[in-house]
Amino acid sequence: MSDTKKSFLIINRKAPYGSSAARDALDVALTISVFEQPLSLLFMDDAVLQLLPAHNAAAIGQKNLSANLSMLEMYDIDQLYVCQRALEQRGIRPDDIELNIILLDQSGIAALIKKQDQVLSF
Amino acid sequence: MIFSIVVTGAPYSSQASASALQFSRSVLKLGHTIHRVFFYADGVHSGSALAAPPQDEANIPSEWTALACEHDLDLVVCIAAAVRRGVLDENEARRYEKSGHNLSPDFTLSGLGQLVEAGILSDRVVTFGA
Amino acid sequence: MTLHLINKTPSESSALRDSLSAVSNGDALLLIENGVYAAMPAYAELFTRLPGSVQCYLLEDDAIARGLKDLNQDFRAIGYDGFVELSCRYGKVVSWF
């Protein structure tokens, strides 16, 4: 493992379950944390739907994503950024989300991207 | 400059793998280095040795193989994504007791750590998504 | 500074919209694959609010493949070598798909 540190940002833009994107992103997030690299996650567009509570993915033969999302805090990934407009467009209140999130407006998102070394998109 | 390339779209279903191939050729032609090409999600199908497109169409998996041979490229296929989708090397075929294996010998199955390591060691990571 | 890579038409996904909301001064946009359709004049309105410091490019092969001509003059057509050079010139590449 390298001593070099790079800051990583994972941009999530897809709803859960209908495609593998949300799970793929989460697996990469957990791996980045194993490498002890600075990591932030950004939820834009339909990805904010990943953050809704009370998933029961067994109903469609899949594993719950929300359980893994709450695991992120255990892995010290506590920089969860959420696009405020994406929540508003979907009628989701920040209080509906059971994770510690930081709301960002458009300029906040641009600033977050600007300060990263590597950005991976899902 | 050191590049790594990430491909998440399947060849023939999306343009991702073909675009990544063209981009990689230019990276090498201009004298830069490719640390690794990482195939993730549906991108793992680029590693199939059994793809048999019509003769008047590009054979994307063999074009990757040819480029890898010429430039000694590290082509890594995400093992978890690949095994789920039935892209297996000989070892995995044995482990899961499957009758055959289809990963081209110029590709390697490995974990997501190879993607993260590529991100740490490369100046640029360019993702071709579907 | 960031090179934003967009490979979807304006209505195929939120890729273009999201990338436009995430650009900073001095960034660049590069349209590839189906993304090049966004350079059709009918979509010019989408780009009018971009800061003047944001350079716009499109991948020429993808435009030729799709028979596109007389595209938005604000986009400069480049080849794959140009794509690589832009990736070097900007500090990172962010893909929107």
Whether residues B32 and C84 touch (CB distance < 8 A) is answered with yes
Q: Would residue A21 count as lying in a domain?
A: yes
Torsions phi, psi for B48 (to 5 deg): -75, 130
Residues of C in contact with A12 (CB under 8 A): none
B66 touches chain A (CB under 8 A): no
A113 touches chain B (CB under 8 A): no
Q: Would residue A79 count as lying in a domain?
A: yes
C83 touches chain A (CB under 8 A): no
Q: What CATH number should be reported for the domain holding residue A106?
A: 3.40.1260.10
Q: What CATH number should be reported for the domain holding residue B73?
A: 3.40.1260.10
Specify the pLDDT at position A2: 54
Whether residues A121 and B129 touch (CB distance < 8 A) is answered with yes
Whether residues C95 and B128 touch (CB distance < 8 A) is answered with yes
Q: What is the pTM of this model?
A: 0.96
Q: Are A12 and A21 in contact (CB under 8 A)?
A: yes
Q: Is pLDDT of A78 > 70? A: no
Number of domains in chain A: 1
The nearest CA of chain C is from the CA of A36 a distance in Å of 21
Choose among A37, A42, A28, A34: nearest CA to A8: A37
Q: Would residue A3 count as lying in a domain?
A: no
Question: What average pLDDT does this structure show over B94-98?
Answer: 97
- Which residue is associated with the tokens 């497109």? B53
Domain spans, chain C:
2-96
Number of domains in chain B: 1
Residues of A in contact with C14 (CB under 8 A): 13, 44-46
Question: Which chains are within 8 Å of B by 3+ CB pairs?
Answer: A, C
Q: Is pLDDT of A1 > 60? A: no
Please provide the size of chain A in residues: 122
Whether residues B126 and C95 touch (CB distance < 8 A) is answered with yes
B 29-48 residues with CB < 8 A to C: 29-30, 32
* pLDDT tens digits, A47-59: 999 999 888 888 9
Tell me whether residue B78 is one of the annotated catalytic residues.
yes
* pLDDT tens digits, B11-63: 999 999 999 999 999 999 999 999 999 999 999 999 999 999 999 999 999 99
- Which residue is associated with the tokens 């946009």? C29
Whether residues B112 and A120 touch (CB distance < 8 A) is answered with no
Spans in chain C with pLDDT lower than 70:
none
Which ranges of chain A does DSSP label H, i.e. alpha helix?
21-34, 65-74, 84-89, 106-114
Specify the pLDDT at position C69: 94
Question: What average pLDDT does this structure show over A21-39?
Answer: 94
Question: Which chains are within 8 Å of C by 3+ CB pairs?
Answer: A, B
Nearest to C2 among A44, A114, A121 (CB): A114
Q: Give ipTM to 2 decimals.
A: 0.96
The nearest CA of chain A is from the CA of B116 a distance in Å of 6
Element containing residue B128 per DSSP (H, E): strand B124-128
A 33-72 residues with CB < 8 A to B: 34-35, 37
Q: Are A62 and A30 in contact (CB under 8 A)?
A: no
Question: What average pLDDT does this structure show over B108-123?
Answer: 98
Distance CA B94, CA B83 (A): 12
Interface B:C, Cβ pairs < 8 A: 47
Domain interval for residue A64: 8-121
B87 touches chain A (CB under 8 A): no
Homologous superfamily of the C2-96 domain (CATH): DsrEFH-like (3.40.1260.10)
Residue of B nearest to A30 (CA): B112
